[in-house]
């Protein structure tokens, strides 16, 4: 649910923030426990794997948003359904 006073954050912005958090996490040399904040919401993760899963999820959402925008613009979504009879 979004608040009327704050605009919705795009998945691309979230992905950018997650990737920056990942880089900072790797450069810090800590293998566990870190946190980041996106649009006023903070998340704490336990391992690098948790952060990588969040990045993968954000990437899928960015691709989904792009496919929806392409479909709305009448472009190909790169999703192909082939049926052989």
At residue 62, the pLDDT reads 94
Quick one: CA torsion of 61, 34, 48, 67, rounded to 10 degrees? Answer: 10
3-state secondary structure of 77: coil
CA distance 7 to 28: 32
Reported as a single tens digit per residue, the pLDDT across 39-51 is 777 777 667 888 8
Q: Give the residue, 12 or 27, on which the prediction is more confident.
A: 12
| Confidence grade of residue 74 (pLDDT, cut at 50, 70, 90) | confident
pTM of the full predicted structure?
A: 0.65
CA distance 18 to 4: 24
Mean predicted confidence (pLDDT) in 57-75: 89
Nearest to 18 by CA among 62, 71, 54, 66: 54
User: Per-domain residue ranges for the chain?
Assistant: 11-71
């Amino acid at each position: 649910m979004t608040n009327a006073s704050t605009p919705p954050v795009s998945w691309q912005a979230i992905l950018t923030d997650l990737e920056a958090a990942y880089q900072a996490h790797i450069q810090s040399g800590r293998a566990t426990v870190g946190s980041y904040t996106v649009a006023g919401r903070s998340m704490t993760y336990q391992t690098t794997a948790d952060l990588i899963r969040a990045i993968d999820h954000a990437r899928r959402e960015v691709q989904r948003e792009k496919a929806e925008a392409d479909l709305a613009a009448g472009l190909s979504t790169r999703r192909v359904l082939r049926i052989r009879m």
